Amino acid sequence: MESNIQHSISKLNKIAGWHTFAILLIGGGIVFTIFLPLGYLVNSAFTESSEFIISSVAWSRIWFSLWQSSATVVLSLLIGGGLAIAEHTYKEKFSRWFLLIMTLPIFLPGVIVAVGFIAIWGNAGYVNETLQSFGWQPIKFLYSPAAIIAGHCFYNIPLAYIAIRLRLLSVHHNLEDSAQVLGANWWKIFTTIILPRLRSTIIGIGIIIFLYSFMSFALPLVLGGIEYQTLEVYIYNLASQQFNYSTAALLAIIQLISLGVITLLSLRYINDVQEKFIKHQKSNNFASNTTIFLFVRVVLSILIIAPLLATVFKGFNGNSIVTLAESSFISAWIRTFIISAVTISIATMAGLYIAISVPKKHQPKILLILAISPVTLSLAWRLLYGQSLFFMVTAYITLLLPLATYVVHNSWQARPVHFNETLSILGANKFQQLKSKARLLFPAIAQIIALGFAFVFGDIAVSGILTPYQHPTVMSLSYDLMGSYRFNIAATSMSLILGSILILVFLTFFISSRYDARSF
Amino acid sequence: MMLEVSDCSVQIQQQKILSNISFSTVADENLSIIGPSGAGKTTLLRCIAGLQKYSGSIIIDSKAINELPIHERNFGFVDQQLNLFPHLTIYENIAYPLRVRKMPKGEIKQRVSHIMERFNILQYKKKLPQELSGGEQQRVAFARTLVYKPRLLLLDEPFGSLDTMLRYELASWLREILQKNNTLTLFVTHDIKEAKFFSKRSMVLHEGKKIGHGTWPALETYNNSTIQRMLKEPF
């Protein structure tokens, strides 16, 4: 009896010791990766800055960032959300191929999309070449606010569509039928039944789109030119080209505080979406297939795929491939792959630990890290720690961690009731329990791996500030090629990166589908 | 008040769900529609409500309603899921059909309060549907349907999710109210006891076809083995 008690106490001590170690590790990690650098950033902003008053140029950048983000929110919700609501209202059958295409932008780096836009709309792009062949004037679309907003809509129209369509799929149409029988016409049903049930989703996704467009870096950097810079691009230029760190730090702090407040607001709505109406979830099963919706889906799909195809067609010619093969492209690719693998492994493990061990009510707080833009974080790290591959990897881990935690958290919360207890009762030992949990969470882990590859392979913000010159990532190398006016070689390089990302994403999901929980 | 259904048929993807169903019913008989799962009972009610496409004609008080939009039919429909609006309070749920009919606010308040009092749910008026028990939600669903005095009430196994005790308690309470209001009612169930308790006449559906129609004593004399088995055995 006594030995049993002693055994239990030593077991508890072991568990407590492990948890203390993990909490200290994560806590220490957060202090070194976030609090210290941000504290240093604040210090740089307020002690080193002699020009405390923000210049009119900075104000114009802030104003431009605000209005282009707002315009993106409105357009994305109107087009993407509008299509989702229209499909639901007219009981249109849910299309998996369309969802797949709409999901594609999530994995596409901003630079590649921007290159695609240049390949279509640039002076030597397909549209203007065609117009000029007929003797018409070329269209000046690039390097304008319209180009930046179009680029942001490329990502966010699909996002709004997916979020609202999936929300509507889980809310059964019976309520609308019921309202109709009770005497409500279409407009009344829309305003009193559909919109109120979508309110949280619309506000939540609106805030996410705003944050995305405000913090977006690569697209405005390439598509905005010198005249139309967002705040994020302006901070980057101040830090990396003008070496005006104090003003960059001050603007980064202002941006961080504003976006932090907005992120806090969005967390409220993200929770709201998860909790509300949970008892009324039931999948709709509509059969209607209308030509007009098919037409709209095809048009949107073309708009998404066209920039990618344009990049590939512009890039693929023999000379460019030979030039690339002779450059440091392959070593940069291998370096990026290793960086991605390390980033993903550590972020996934930390995300798993936080999602499973940290109490549910504290978990959304980690999403607050999303308010720290890659440029702000990298700037803070460069000021405090300097440039190095190690800090670049750590920055990637810090930025991927909130997403990893959120994805695992959602998957873990959806586990069968009494999952852990059932495994114990059925006689599974610790290792078997761990294996079962891993298989349950495999689709979530696959999502993190896919997003991780897309994020690291597509990044130029973190690598642009933190990468030592002699160790470029594959994307920073390709971006430099664009800067040196070798567009075709850059397009070839981007095509290869795009291919790498798509293959890695496909492989991840393919392997995940073979080993996911349904194949138990 | 009289409902006449002639040659009502439904076909979905080459499959006949309903085949030439014809019947008529009047207010005081609370016609029940019985049959096993997949017999087409719910589909028939959905056709009458206008929620399902069909061929044939539906006439109410000598007027065909085939082309009438659903929201202008002035019917009531209560099914097992109840479909209370989760984002509206109990008061707002019951006031909903009066509001969409643009009734004056004073009248809405008076009618809603009156029916809530009558259904003994006044104390829940500020609560949300999910905060109520199954039986209470059921009463709210009936109050919401009866508050605007529909000319035809369609009930699709409305007590299906309740336990036996509560089911008969609510059924007898509802029968009393419908008798007082003299409401034309169609009642779908697979529970023979419930059907006998609620209605004077019944129609039997099997595999989308009408195989019997009449009073309970008349049905018992039908020379049809399927009907006899249905009347004896639970589905």
B 54-73 residues with CB below 8 A of A?
69-73
Residue A2 — pLDDT band, cuts 50, 70, 90? low
**pLDDT (0 to 100) of residue B79:** 87
**What is residue B38's three-state secondary structure?**
coil
Q: Mean pLDDT across the stretch A239-246?
A: 82
| Chain A neighbors of B13, CB-CB under 8 A | 287
B88 Cβ contact partners less than 8 Å away, ≥ 6 residues apart: B96, B128, B129
Is B76 at the interface with chain A, CB within 8 A? yes
Q: For residue A417, what pLDDT is reported?
A: 73
Partner A contacted by B87 (CB < 8 A): yes
Set of chain B residues whose Cβ sits within 8 Å of the Cβ of A196 = 87
Lowest mean pLDDT among A146-160, A188-202, A444-458, B219-233: B219-233
**For A34, phi and psi rounded to 5 degrees?**
-120, -60
Taking CA–CA distances from B80, the nearest residue in chain A reads A174
Residue A393 has pLDDT above 90, yes or no: yes
Residue B35 to chain A, least CA–CA distance (Å): 23
Mutate to test the interface with A, among B12, B77, B82, B83 (most CBs of A within 10 A): B83
Question: Which of B49, B87, B148 is facing A197, going by the closest CB pair?
Answer: B87
Distance from CA of A181 to the nearest CA of B (A): 5
**Mean pLDDT, residues A343-354:** 90
pLDDT single digits (tens) B104-159: 999 999 999 999 998 889 999 999 998 998 888 988 999 999 999 999 999 998 88
Distances (CA, A) of B119 to A61, A396, B168, B218: 62, 61, 16, 35
**Spatial contact of B29 and B153, defined as CB atoms under 8 Å apart:** no
Instruction: Please check the confidence at residue A325 and state whether its pLDDT lies above 80.
Output: no
Least confident segment among A46-60, A320-334, A346-360, B163-177: A46-60
A279 vs B contacts (CB less than 8 Å): 86, 130
Contact B49 A178 (CB under 8 A): no
pLDDT (0 to 100) of residue A458: 92
The answer to whether B163 and B103 are in contact (CB under 8 A) is no
Question: Cβ contacts (< 8 Å) between B85 and chain A: which residues?
Answer: 175, 178-179, 193
Under an 8 A CB cutoff, do B71 and A185 touch?
yes
Q: For residue B83, which residues of chain A lie inside 8 Å, CB to CB?
A: 174-175, 177-178
- Provide the shortest C-alpha distance from residue B150 to chain A (in Å): 9
Q: Which chain B residue has its CA at the smallest distance from A281's CA?
A: B86
Q: Which residue of B has its CA nearest to A174?
A: B83
State how far the Cα of B85 lies from the Cα of B46, in Å rounded to an integer: 20
Query: Which residues from B are below 8 Å from A277, CB to CB?
Result: 86-87
For the cut 80, the answer to whether the pLDDT of residue A311 exceeds it is yes
pLDDT of amino acid A279: 43
Q: What is the pLDDT of residue A281?
A: 42
Give the length of chain B: 235
How near does any CA of chain A get to the CA of B230, in Å? 30
CA distances from A212 to A207, A217, A373, A403, B39 (A): 9, 9, 10, 14, 53
User: Where are the alpha helices (H) located in A358-429, listed in sequence order?
Assistant: 374-385, 389-413, 419-425
Give the number of residues written for chain A.
520
Q: Mutate which of B71, B130, B132, B142 to disrupt the A interface (most A C-beta within 10 Å)?
A: B71
Asked if A192's CB is within 8 angstroms of B96's CB, the reply is yes
Chain A contact for B101, CB < 8 A?
Answer: yes
Min Cα distance A175 → chain B (Å) is 5
Q: Scanning every residue of chain B, which has its alpha carbon at the shortest distance from the alpha carbon of A177?
A: B51
Q: Indicate the average pLDDT of chain A.
A: 83
Which has the closest alpha carbon to B92: B140, B153, B139? Answer: B140
The SS3 assignment for A226 reads coil
Among A175, A184, A287, beta carbon nearest to B100: A184
Instruction: Give the tens place of pLDDT for each residue, B53-86.
Output: 899 999 998 899 998 999 999 999 998 888 899 8
d(CA A463, CA A308): 23
The larger pLDDT score, comparing residue A373 to residue A482, is at: A373
Which among B50, B71, B87 has CB closest to A183? B71
Contact criterion met (CB < 8 Å) for B85 and A193 = yes
pTM recorded for the entire structure: 0.80
Transcribe B153-166 into DSSP letters: EEEESTTTTS-HHH
| CA–CA distance, A492 with B139 (Å, rounded to integer) | 68
Interatomic CA distance for residues A466 and A63, integer angstroms: 28
Minimal Cα–Cα distance from A188 to chain B, Å?
A: 7
Sheet arrangement for strand B2-12? B15-26, B2-12, B55-60, B63-64
For residue B87, list chain A residues with Cβ-Cβ distance below 8 A. 196-197, 277
The mean predicted confidence, pLDDT, of chain B is 88
Query: Which among A170, A181, A191, A201 is the top mutation candidate for probing chain B, defined by the most B β-carbons within 10 Å of its own β-carbon?
Result: A181
Which pair of tokens denotes residue A477? 């190398």
- pLDDT band at residue A286 using 50, 70 and 90 as cut-offs: low
| Digit-coded pLDDT (tens) for A99-153 | 889 999 988 999 999 999 999 998 888 999 899 999 888 888 888 999 999 999 9
CB nearest A180 (choices: B13, B70, B87)? B70
CB contact under 8 A, B101 and A179: no
Contact yes or no for A181 and B148 at CB 8 A: no
Q: Residue A26 has what pLDDT?
A: 77
Of A22, A6, A95, residue with least CA distance to A350: A22
Helix (H, G, I), strand (E, B) or coil at B218: helix
Tell whether the model's pLDDT for residue A291 goes beyond 70.
Answer: yes
Strand stretches in chain B, DSSP E: 2-12, 15-26, 31-34, 55-60, 63-64, 75-79, 152-156, 184-189, 201-206, 209-215
**B51/A279 CB distance under 8 A:** no
Residue (of A225, A334, A211, A207) closest to A272 by Cα position: A207
Q: Which structure tokens are listed for B2? A: 């009289």
On whether the CB atoms of residues B128 and B92 are closer than 8 A, the answer is no
Instruction: Reply yes or no on whether the pLDDT at A12 is more than 90.
Output: no
Whether the predicted pLDDT of A274 surpasses 50: no
The minimal CB distance from B71 to the residues A184, A276, A277 is found for A184
Q: Nearest-CA distance from B76 to chain A in Å?
A: 6
- At CB < 8 Å, which residues of chain A contact B? 172, 174-175, 177-185, 188, 192-193, 196-197, 276-277, 279-280, 287
CA distances from A335 to A168, A380, A431, B88, B118 (A): 43, 24, 34, 56, 75
